[in-house]
């Protein structure tokens, strides 16, 4: 179980992932789900993973070591050779397909779920940040400004606040707050989502260094954000007039 989100804004890119994994209702553990796939002067590429841990580990390992060359005598294909984030998404999607034919087929033979999904985000060259959702079949979609966020994993509890609050033109600092509130909602309703949370933030300006940060279980800011949000929700409920038909019924 896990929950990951990517927020693509005019100001940049934010990716957040929890670290909860489980092998049964009473066997929870932590595993980092935000991966650095490439970090070089001309490219910074990250991925969040959800689904089968063995499949996602195999996909990440294959991408980092390199996919088999198409023609004999060529080098293995890695993200360092991708000319754009679109090409990077194609490479990761192909790695998912290869893993499905090997590890996935072996797991399916013994009736173990081998589904996996990934968020792939980052920048190559001077292009603006891009964000993709890669499905279990290896196909993918690109995040666009009309709907500037993508989710994988346990998405349903954290989605309403993203639908209401995320806008392509909002400041990136506010987007991080909304992202954390989305995780707070998911964690309150699903034990399969939990801290630590790992996040990265990438400004649209390539000259600005990338920010990475981990939210631990005792993080003071996140705890204050959660309690403040609960208080404000209760105040908002109190400020909304009661239904008129209820007022008449109470007389």
Encode pLDDT of 118-163 as tens digits.
999 999 999 999 999 999 999 999 999 999 999 999 999 999 999 9
Give 23's pLDDT tier (boundaries 50, 70, 90).
very low
What was the pLDDT predicted at 158? 97
What was the pLDDT predicted at 75? 80
Taking CA 173 as the corner, what is the angle to CA 168 and CA 175, rounded to the nearest 5 degrees? 45
Q: Kindly list the structural domains of the chain, giving each domain's residue range(s) and its CATH number in brackets, ordered by start.
A: 3-219 (3.60.20.10)
Select from 85, 121, 93 the least CA-distant residue to 8.
121
Give 29's pLDDT tier (boundaries 50, 70, 90).
confident
Select from 157, 136, 183, 126 the least CA-distant residue to 7.
183
Helical spans, DSSP H, in the chain: 53-65, 85-99, 105-109, 159-165, 172-189, 220-239, 244-250
Give 251's pLDDT tier (boundaries 50, 70, 90).
confident
Q: Which tens digit of pLDDT belongs to each residue from 54-77?
A: 999 999 999 999 999 887 767 899
Give the SS3 label for residue 141.
Answer: strand
């Amino acid at each position: 179980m896990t929950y990951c989100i990517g927020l693509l804004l005019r100001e940049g890119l934010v990716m957040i992932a929890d670290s909860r994994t489980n092998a049964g209702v009473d066997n929870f553990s932590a595993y980092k789900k935000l991966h650095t796939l490439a970090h070089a002067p001309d490219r910074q590429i990250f991925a969040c993973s959800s689904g089968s841990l063995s499949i996602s580990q195999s996909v990440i390992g294959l991408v980092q070591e390199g996919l088999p060359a198409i023609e004999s005598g060529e080098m293995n294909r890695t993200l360092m050779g991708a000319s754009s984030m679109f090409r990077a998404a194609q490479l990761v999607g192909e790695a998912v397909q290869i893993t499905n034919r090997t590890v996935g087929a072996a797991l399916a033979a013994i009736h173990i779920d081998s589904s996996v999904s990934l968020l792939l985000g980052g920048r190559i060259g001077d292009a603006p940040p891009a964000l993709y959702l890669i499905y279990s079949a290896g196909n993918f979609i690109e995040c666009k400004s009309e709907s500037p966020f993508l989710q994988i994993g346990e998405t349903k509890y954290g989605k309403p606040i993203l639908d209401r609050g995320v806008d392509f033109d909002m400041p990136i600092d506010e987007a991080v707050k909304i992202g954390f509130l989305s995780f707070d909602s998911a964690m309150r309703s699903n034990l399969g989502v939990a801290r630590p949370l790992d996040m990265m933030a990438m400004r649209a300006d390539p000259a600005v260094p990338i920010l990475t940060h981990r939210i631990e279980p005792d993080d003071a800011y996140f705890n204050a954000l959660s309690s403040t949000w609960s208080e404000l929700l209760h105040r908002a409920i109190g400020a909304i007039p009661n239904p008129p038909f209820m007022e008449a019924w109470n007389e």
